C-alpha cells in the first residue's frame, strides 16, 4: 500500500495555504509533517482525510480498497478529542467502535492504560486521559492509514512512550502514518516533510 500526493494545493478562507506539494509514504513507513504555525500541517492532514477540499493536485492510496475513499480507510486524530462528557469511557469508545464498525472495546482501553476507568464519565478525565481515550479508537477500529495531528499533545512521558509503541506496532503490521508535529513523536525512522512558513 502506498499513499501519494502530487502537486497538491489547498486554499482556506481565500488564502493559499500550500501549493505544489508532493509526498509519498508506503506501508510500514511514517511521514512526519513539520513546519511553522500556519504552514499548513493540519490542513494537509485534513485534505488527506477528505475534510478539506483539495484545490489542485492528486491524492491516491494505491493498494487500498477501490470502493472506499482515502478518508474511509484512515483514522484522523485532530486537536479536539471527540468525546461525549456524560458518557463513560467505555461508552464513548463503544460508540466509535460501533459507528466505525470496529472491534472489542476493553482490549483497546487496556492498550492505552484506561482499563480501570471504563465506568468513569469522560467529563472527569484529565486532558491526557481524554487524549488516550481518543487514541484508543486507533486500536479498536483497525484502519491502514493513521492521520495524527500533534498526537502527543497533553500526553505525559509514559503516555508518549505508549503511543510510540502503538505506532511502531501499526507500522510493523504494514500500516502507514502521516503525522503533523512540532517535535519528535518517538519514531526515529520517520521521513520528514517540511512545509514552508506562513504566507
Tens of pLDDT, residue by residue over 77-113, are 998 888 999 999 999 999 999 998 888 899 999 999 9
Note whether 181 and 24 are within 8 A (CB).
Answer: no
Give me the number of domains the chain comprises: 1
Instruction: Decide if 15 is inside a domain.
Output: yes
pLDDT value at 198 more than 60: no
The more confidently predicted of residues 109 and 189 is 109
Does residue 199 fall inside a structural domain? no
**Who wins on pLDDT, 80 or 69?**
69
Whether residue 13 is contained in a domain is answered as: yes
| Strand pairing report for 30-34 and 56-62 | unpaired
Average pLDDT (39-43) is 92
DSSP-assigned beta bridge partners for residue 80: none
Range of the domain at 120: 2-194
- Strand pairing partners for 38? none
Rounded-to-integer distance, Cα 21 and Cα 49, Å: 16
On whether the CB atoms of residues 60 and 73 are closer than 8 A, the answer is no
Residue 199 pLDDT more than 50? Answer: no
**For position 103, which CATH number holds?**
3.40.50.300
Question: Sheet containing 15-26: which strands, arranged edge to edge?
Answer: 15-26, 2-12, 56-62
Q: What is the pLDDT of residue 117?
A: 96
Pairwise CA distance, residues 162 & 157, whole Å? 9
**Is residue 80 one of the residues assigned to a domain?**
yes
Instruction: Tell me, yes or no, whether 142 lies in a domain.
Output: yes
Global confidence as pTM = 0.92
Q: Is 77 a domain residue?
A: yes
Amino acid at each position: 500500500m502506498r499513499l501519494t500526493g502530487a502537486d497538491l494545493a489547498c486554499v482556506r478562507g481565500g488564502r493559499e495555504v500550500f501549493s505544489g506539494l508532493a509526498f509519498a509514504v508506503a506501508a510500514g513507513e511514517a511521514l512526519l509533517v513539520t513546519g511553522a504555525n500556519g504552514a499548513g500541517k493540519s490542513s494537509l492532514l485534513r485534505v488527506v482525510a477528505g475534510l478539506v477540499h483539495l484545490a489542485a493536485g492528486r491524492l491516491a492510496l494505491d493498494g487500498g480498497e477501490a470502493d472506499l475513499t482515502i478518508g474511509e480507510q484512515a483514522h484522523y486524530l485532530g486537536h479536539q478529542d471527540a468525546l461525549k462528557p456524560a458518557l463513560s469511557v467505555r461508552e464513548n469508545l463503544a460508540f466509535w467502535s460501533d459507528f466505525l464498525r470496529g472491534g472489542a472495546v476493553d482490549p483497546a482501553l487496556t492498550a492505552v492504560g484506561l482499563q480501570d476507568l471504563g465506568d468513569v464519565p469522560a467529563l472527569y478525565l484529565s486532558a491526557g486521559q481524554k487524549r488516550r481515550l481518543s487514541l484508543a479508537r486507533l486500536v479498536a477500529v483497525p484502519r491502514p492509514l493513521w492521520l495524527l495531528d500533534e498526537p502527543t499533545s497533553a500526553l505525559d512521558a509514559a503516555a508518549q512512550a505508549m503511543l510510540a509503541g502503538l505506532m511502531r506496532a501499526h507500522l510493523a503490521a504494514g500500516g502507514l502514518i502521516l503525522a503533523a508535529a512540532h517535535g519528535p513523536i518517538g519514531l526515529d525512522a520517520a521521513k520528514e516533510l517540511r512545509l514552508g512558513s506562513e504566507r
